[in-house]
Amino acid sequence: MSSAGNVRIIPRLDIKGKNLIKGVRMEGLRVLGDPHEFALRYYHAGADELIYMDVVASLYNRNNLSDIVSRAADQVFIPITVGGGVRSLEDARHLLRSGADKVAVNTAAVATPPLISEIARHFGSQAMVLSIEAKQVGSGKWEVYTDNGRERTGLDVLAWAKQGAELGAGEILVTSVDREGTRKGFDIELVAAVSGAVNLPVIASGGMGSMAHFLDVVRKGNVSAVAMADVLHYGRMTLPQVRSAAREAGIEVRQP
């Protein structure tokens, strides 16, 4: 779906244990520090939303972020999406009670698609984000991966995005495993294909290294939101710089 209205600018915080980490293609994780400090900095710098992703949750069958999220929710007053290890309605309820506004589900949604409908029915579709980790497997073809980009599913990304939308997801977070952490730009073809396949807001994630990449994915990928990590965590760009460059380029973004 194309971005009607403001394009949302969303820092993504990948968490392992108590630490903010960053990988390349979801591997080789580096510890960057306390996620709360980064979250506060991004909130005060004008982020539209935050995404927290527990990157090892699927290995341990649990999401570890409720403490981190409840701490953030006391001081951060923008929507928070939390993903990783959301296995059940109970897991979703726990995170939403801890202060999350939305849950992002990948592995469990693939294993049990009706979970998408269950979460949407109980908490509203706006709270149910379908997280899709995609790897390119051919020209114009991508496969869904789970477990933080480790496990193949055999599912076609576009077919799965459509199914997720039909089941009641309110938003799709699409992460290119091939581009994640590379700073080489988004997989525009992937993002545009997902946006074209569903009538839902799509968040592009994986690959932002420069403002040109942001402008490219908004213009050609028809996204509602852009998630970014490396470029912010390492101080290559600030949120005010991203926002003013977007505005100068004629892209509608919120005035903080």
Mind listing the pLDDT tens digit for each residue in 160-219? 999 999 999 999 999 999 999 889 999 999 999 999 999 999 999 999 999 999 999 999
227 pairs with which residues across the strands?
10
Domains of the chain and CATH, by start:
8-248 (3.20.20.70)
Query: Which positions are annotated as active-site residues?
Result: 14, 133
pTM of the model: 0.95
Q: Are 194 and 174 a contacting pair, CB within 8 Å?
A: yes
Can you give the pLDDT at residue 74? 93
Element counts in the chain: helices (H) and strands (E): 11, 12
pLDDT at 61: 62
Percent pLDDT > 70 in the chain is 95
Q: Is the pLDDT of residue 25 over 90?
A: no
Give the C-alpha distances (Å, rounded to integers) separating 23 from 44, 108, 181.
Answer: 25, 23, 6
Q: How many residues does the chain have?
A: 256
- Condensed to tens digits (0 to 9), the pLDDT of residues 29-63 reads 788 999 999 999 999 999 999 999 998 876 666 66
Q: How far apart are CA 208 and CA 214, in angstroms?
A: 7
Query: Which has more confidence, 18 or 118?
Result: 118
User: What is the token pair recorded at 77?
Assistant: 């007053």
Q: Is the pLDDT of residue 19 over 80?
A: yes
List residues bridging with 20 in a β-sheet.
15, 33
3-state secondary structure of 211: helix
